[in-house]
Amino acid sequence: MILQSFAYGQWVSGTGQPTVLKHAVTGEQIYEAGSSGIDFGQMLEYGRNAGARHIRPSTFHQRALMLKELAKHLTAKKDEFYRLSYLTGATRTDAWFDIDGGIGTLFAYASKGRKELPNQSVFIDGGTEVLSKGGTFVGRHICVPLEGVAVHINAFNFPVWGMLEKFAPAFLAGMPCIIKPATSTSYVAQRVVQEIIASRILPEGALQIICGSVGDLFDHLTLQDVVTFTGSHATGKKLRQHPRIIDESIRFNMESDSLNCCVLGRDAVPGSEEFGLFIKEVARELTTKAGQRCTAIRRVIVPEGTVNDVIAALTQRLSSVVIGDPALEEVKMGPLVGTEQQSEVTARLQELRRTSETVYEYRNEFRRNGHPLDLGAFFRPTLLYCRDPLSVSEPHNIEAFGPVSTVMGYRTMDDAIELVRRGRGSLVGSFFSNNDADCRTFALGIAPYHGRIMMINRSSAKESTGHGSPMPQMVHGGPGRAGGGEELGGIRSVMHYMQRTALQGSPTTLGSVYGEFTVGGETHTDGIHPFTKYFNDLTIGDSILTGTRTITLEDVERFAELSGDHFYAHMDDELARRSIFERRVAHGYFVLSAAAGLFVEPGFVPVLANYGLEGLRFLKPVYPGDTIQVRLTVKSTRPKEGESQGVVEWDVIVFNQQSEQVAVYTLLTLVAAR
C-alpha cells in the first residue's frame, strides 16, 4: 500500500521510486512512501492563506476547545493506532507512551490554554512600563501569532507523541502546521492524521502531512515560518544551516538525541530504597522502546565502591526481561524499528567497545510468534563498563541509539558532576539520593548543561513519571548537543510560535490595541453602576468613584475579634511605633473588605461571584481616622466559551483622604450574559 500525503486540502500520492517500509518483527514489506511530485511551495502557501482565514481570527480558548475535542475523538480511535504501532516493534507499553502520551498532551494544552491564556487572539506579556514622568507615555509587550506555517520534522521513535506534542502548542498559538514524520514509521502518524482530517474538528488548512522526504520545502520558507526538528544532532545541524534558515532568521527549534545520564548518590548504598529504585529505572529505560528514546539513559554513573553491585543488580534484572514479538503479552521489549537501525546501533557499539568492556549481554532466546528471528530487527540489551571515564571521550561522545548503556564510577561529587558535563548538553539527567544537600550540589552543578533534572528518593518515586517521560507542563529540550531548544514547557512553548512586540504610546491608545484598560488611560461613566450591567453591556474603561468611609479604632478591634488576627501592629500603639508604623494600623484585609463595601451593589445583579484577586499591593498604611475611597474600572472582559457568562477583570484603586493610593489590585468576577 502506498501512503498518501495530505497537501493543499487533499490526499495526494507521490510519484517516482518510493521507499519500502518493512515490518520490524517479520521484515516483510508493509507500505511504500514517497513525496516526489508534491508541490511543497504550494503546501506552504496553502497553510499561510488558510491559516489567515480560518485559524488566526479565533481566540486561544476556541483553539483550546478544539484541541480538547480532537483529543476525545482520537481516544475513541486509539485501538487501531495500537495495532499499527505493533508493526514498528512497539510493545503495548511502548505504544501507550506514544499514543496515550500524545493524546494526553492535547488534553494538557487544551486545559492550560483555557486557564492561562485569555479568550482573545492577543496575549499581553507582562505589566505596563511607565516610560515618562507624567505617565502619558507608556510601554507594554504583546504576543501575536506568526503569519507563516510551523513545519514539524519528527523522529521515528514516537510517531504519534512526537507529532502531537509539537502540534498542540503551535495550533494553540494560532499557526497552521505541516507534519513531516520519519518515513520508517510514517504510516502510524499518517493514520492519526487521517482521523484528524476526517473529524472536521480543526479549521481548514490547520494540518498537512508529508509521507516521504521534504524535497525543496526549505527553499520556500519565509521569516514568518517556524521549523522544529527532532532527531540526530548531525541531521539537525545540517538543516539549521540551510541558507533560507540563515538568511530569513527563521526560528529553528531543535531537540536532538543526547547522552543522558542517571547518577546514583553516595548515600544510595546496596540495600537502600534508592539503590533499588535506581536499578529499576535504569533497566526500564534500557528496554522501553528497545532503548530508542531521545531521553534514554546512555551513561550510568555510580560511586566507585558500588560499580560491581550495580552491574550485578542490572544483570539480574535485565536477564529476567522477556524480549521478542511485541504482540505476545509476556514480551516486555520488541525489536528496533528496522534493520538499518540495527546496523547503526551495532556500528556505534563497536566504537564504544574501544574504551569500554562488555559486562553484560542478553543471552535468553527471543520469544517468537511464528516469525523467524533473523528477519526481524532485534537487538540484545548490552551493558558496558568504562574503567577510567575521565580519561577517554567515547562514552561521552558516541551514542548507540538502542538498548546500550555504559556504567562508569566516580570518586567525589565533583567527579560525578564533571562526568555528567562531559556529555556537552543533555535533555535529561537523573539523580537517585535521599540526601537533599547532595541533590542541591548535583542539580546546581549540572543545570547549565541540562534541560531537565529528575531527583528521585523514597518520597517521590511512587508518583514519579520517570526519567524518560517529558511532561507537557515542563521544558523538553536541552543545551549543546541536545539541540538548544525547548519543545514543551507549558505556555512557554506556545510563545515560540508568536512574535513578542513592544508597544509604546498613551495608556488609552495601547489599551485600545490589546483590549484592556491601562492605568492612566481614559475612563468613562454613564451614571449606571457597572455591577448592575450584564456582561454584554460592559465596556473597557467603565468606571465609578465610590463614596467614602472613615476607618475607626472600633473597626480595627471588631475585625481583630472576627478574624482572630491580633497582630501587634493592629492592637498595640507602643509596639506598632517600635516597628515601621506611626501607631496602630488597620488590617490590610479589613481595608479590602471596607473597599468592597463601598463598591459592591447589594441587590440581585448580574455579578454572580467573586472569581479571584490578583496583583494585590498595600502601598501605604491606613490608620484609624483615615478616610478611604475607591476607583473601580472595567479592565477587561473575557467571555467563557459555550457559557452564558464571562470573567470581568476590574482595576481597583483604594485612596486615602490625601488622594494617595493605599491599595491596588485586580478583582475578577463572574458576570452573567444576557
Q: Which residues does the annotation mark as catalytic?
A: 255, 294
Helix, strand or coil, per DSSP, at residue 231: strand
How far, in Å, CA of 289 to CA of 247, rounded? 38
Length of the chain: 674
Is residue 404 within 8 Å of residue 361, measured between CB atoms?
no
**Residue by residue, what is the 3-state secondary structure of 418-442?**
HHHHCCCCEEEEEEECCCHHHHHHH
C-alpha 345/C-alpha 291 separation (Å) is: 10
Q: Which long-range contacts (CB under 8 A, 24 or more apart) does 129-136 make?
A: 130/520, 131/504, 135/507, 135/519, 135/520, 136/506, 136/507, 136/520
Q: Is residue 595 within 8 Å of residue 652, measured between CB atoms?
A: yes
Nearest-CA neighbor of 174 among 148, 208, 140, 209?
A: 148
> E strands of 331-472, at which residues?
357-361, 382-386, 404-410, 426-432, 450-456
CB atoms within 10 A of CB 227: 25
Which burial class, exposed, middle or buried, applies to 141 when counting CB atoms under 10 A from its CB (0-12, 13-18, 19+)?
A: middle
Closest C-alpha among 44, 339, 51 to residue 210: 44
**Residue in this structure with the C-alpha cell 483590549, named with its chain if needed:** 515
CA distance 450 to 476: 10
